[in-house]
């Protein structure tokens, strides 16, 4: 094989590889289209009980009485939840300054385990509350299958974004994204 045919062959291989890469990148860009519509469009009506004082809590009221609501599903039995919880508490503390409410929604859990777990976090932010959803009604209404999962709703009760799985909440981009989705600057 001559040198020019070797170079031509390599050029063709590189061109095919580049074309294939561009084709798949466009498929992926289409797949992660931010304009997609969610099945969950608004915050469903859910009445639960505050874990601390057993008072009734209507999630819709929390969202409407603030600049938005962040609902974070977790469990003491969930290792990724336990790992991200300290960062999420600090994230909630930053949202406190922006009048955004945060609900720590404990699911599939026991009261004693929740109390023991929360003792490590002596001082949760004032904009947050812990709810133990014993019946699992909130999981059903919001379509949660596994935890951790975090939902953001604006004060008009519209679902803005959902974070599946554990996140690195200490990254400033999460704070910025949530504020942008809520229209807060």
Kindly report the backbone phi and psi dihedral angles of residue 43, in degrees, each rounded to the nearest multiple of 5, phi listed first: -70, 120
Low-confidence ranges of the chain (pLDDT < 50): 31-33
Q: CA 41 → CA 114, 162, 164, 180, 182, distances in Å?
A: 30, 11, 16, 18, 14
Kindly report the backbone phi and psi dihedral angles of residue 28, in degrees, each rounded to the nearest multiple of 5, phi listed first: -70, -45
Report how far apart the first and last C-alpha atoms of the chain are (Å, whole number).
Answer: 64
Q: Which bin fits 166, alpha (ψ -120 to 50), beta or left (φ > 0)?
A: beta
pLDDT of residue 33: 47
pLDDT of residue 25: 67
């Amino acid at each position: 094989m001559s040198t020019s045919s070797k170079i031509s062959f390599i050029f063709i291989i590189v061109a095919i590889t580049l074309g294939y890469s561009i084709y798949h990148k466009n498929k992926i860009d289409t797949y992660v289209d931010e304009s997609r519509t969610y099945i969950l469009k608004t915050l469903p009506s859910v009445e639960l009980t505050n874990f601390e004082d057993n008072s009734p809590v209507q999630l819709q009221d929390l969202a409407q009485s603030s600049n938005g609501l962040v609902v974070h599903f977790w469990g003491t039995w969930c290792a990724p939840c336990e790992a991200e919880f300290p960062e999420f508490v600090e994230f909630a503390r930053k949202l406190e300054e922006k009048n955004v409410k945060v609900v720590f929604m404990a699911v599939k859990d026991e009261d004693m385990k929740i109390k023991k777990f929360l003792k490590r976090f002596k001082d949760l932010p004032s904009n947050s509350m812990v709810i133990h959803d014993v019946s699992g009604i909130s999981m059903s209404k919001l379509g949660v299958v596994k935890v951790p999962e975090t939902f953001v709703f604006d004060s008009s009760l519209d679902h803005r974004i959902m974070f599946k799985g554990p996140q690195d909440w200490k990254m400033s981009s999460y704070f910025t994204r949530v504020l942008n989705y809520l229209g807060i600057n």
